[in-house]
Amino acid sequence: MTTQTLTITRPDDWHLHVRDGEMLGAVLPDTARQFARAIIMPNLKPPVATVELALAYRDRILAALPDEADFEPLMTLYLTEQTTPDDIRQAADNPFVHAVKYYPAGATTNAASGVRDLERVMPVIEEMEKQGLPLLMHGEVTDSEIDIFDREAVFIERHLDGLVKRFPGLPMVFEHITTSAAVDFVLAAPDNVAATITAHHLLLNRNAIFDGGLRPHHYCLPVLKRESNRQSLVKAATSGNPKFFLGTDSAPHPKSAKESDCGCAGVYSALHAMEFYAEVFDDAGALDKLEGFASFHGPDFYRLPRNPDTLTLVAEPQEIPETVDFAVEDGVPLRAGGQTRWSVRY
Ligand code: DOR
Ligand code: ZN
């Protein structure tokens, strides 16, 4: 029997953390091997809150790329309560800045400078709507009284529903959705509202955090949810609906920062991102929908051209290492020590 092969238009990653400094140089090649472009998250310390900082970060990313890489970072600004409508006009006028990221203050890694009160950034969001600059949202409330598994659903009720009604012309991406409630919301919302879905939320449910003991490498934000939610995400991703597209949220942390008394949130999936997505689509009997999800819906939403080149996947397993070199220290990739079912043919 011949090995099953799948060739698709080269994909993009619409949600990615690559950090900075030595770690940037260590992790970036994993993404650049598979993806032509990636939306780069701005949650550095200090946050990438101005066009000037975004351009300097872009230069560091380009300098960290291997010589042979063909990869374009798509920069974002970090929305703070100090962001001004003028920052937005500068971003909209700049060819390298593609979106603005909203973190509720304290929601996740380096989110301390995020937004405490959404009302304070309304003039900025109004300017974004005027300019057509997409708003990317970490869609969780941070209220410690709200159960951590309910924070996405409560964000929809308290904030997202109102934002969608108030800004009908604003492109909005509900990032890394994790629940049936989010899927239903996006399906019912107008076409200016889309969502990204990670590989780990498609592959795992919350049992993976507690599988025979505490599994810090499966801790991410938003946290993994129950199986019925995972199934809703798979259905949405594999449906062919252009509102859903690929965003790995690959988020490297040193091994010791994950395996700690207070471990960091983040899953490092970049090493084999496309192999994982292919497995999900294969299991759902929907390999024919992978190209839309990975390579068409994102650029169409962001009004960018689709990539001219291709990526080929083969149904051959591949060993996943126990650790990867993050320069500063080792990191632990998703499914470390296991196997992929698909491989990218380079
Ligand atoms: O798991 C996560 N890690 N979720 C986020 O929202 C941020 C990310 C990170 O930067 O580590
Ligand atoms: Zn993220």
202 belongs to a structural domain:
yes
282 is catalytic: no
The verdict on the CB of residue 19 being under 6 Å from ligand 1 is no
304 belongs to a structural domain:
no
The verdict on the CB of residue 43 being under 6 Å from ligand 1 is yes
299 belongs to a structural domain:
no
297 belongs to a structural domain:
no
Q: How far apart are CA 244 and CA 195, in angstroms?
A: 5
State the distance from the centre of ligand 1 to the C-alpha of 249, rounded, in angstroms.
7
- Give the domain range for residue 36: 12-269
- What digits encode the pLDDT tens for the residues 194-208? 999 999 999 999 999
315 belongs to a structural domain:
no
Residue 1 has pLDDT above 70, yes or no: no
- Of 105, 174, 176, give the one whose Cα is nearest residue 141: 105
Instruction: Give me the mean pLDDT over the 209-233 stretch.
Output: 98
Q: Which atom of ligand 1 is the closest one to the Cα of 103?
A: 6
Residue 230 has pLDDT above 70, yes or no: yes
163 belongs to a structural domain:
yes
Residue with tokens 């994993």: 30
Residue 111 has pLDDT above 90, yes or no: no
Q: Among 12, 87, 249, 282, which one carries the catalytic annotation?
A: 249
pTM of the model: 0.98
- 17, 250, 258: residue to mutate for ligand 1 pocket, most atoms within 8 A of CB: 17
What's the structural domain count of the chain? Answer: 1
Q: What count of Cα atoms within 13 Å lies in the side-chain half-sphere of residue 59?
A: 5
282 belongs to a structural domain:
no
Q: Strand runs (DSSP E) across the chain, as ranges? A: 5-9, 13-16, 37-40, 72-78, 97-102, 135-137, 172-174, 193-197, 244-246, 310-314, 318-319, 324-325, 330-331, 339-340, 343-345
- What digits encode the pLDDT tens for the residues 294-336? 999 999 999 999 999 999 999 999 999 999 999 989 999 999 9
Q: Where residue 91 sits, what CATH number does that domain have?
A: 3.20.20.140
Q: How far apart are CA 152 and CA 161, in angstroms?
A: 12
SS3 324: strand
- What digits encode the pLDDT tens for the residues 242-274? 999 999 999 999 999 999 999 999 999 999 999
184 belongs to a structural domain:
yes
Q: Which residues make up the environment of ion ligand 2, defined by Cβ < 5 Å?
A: 249
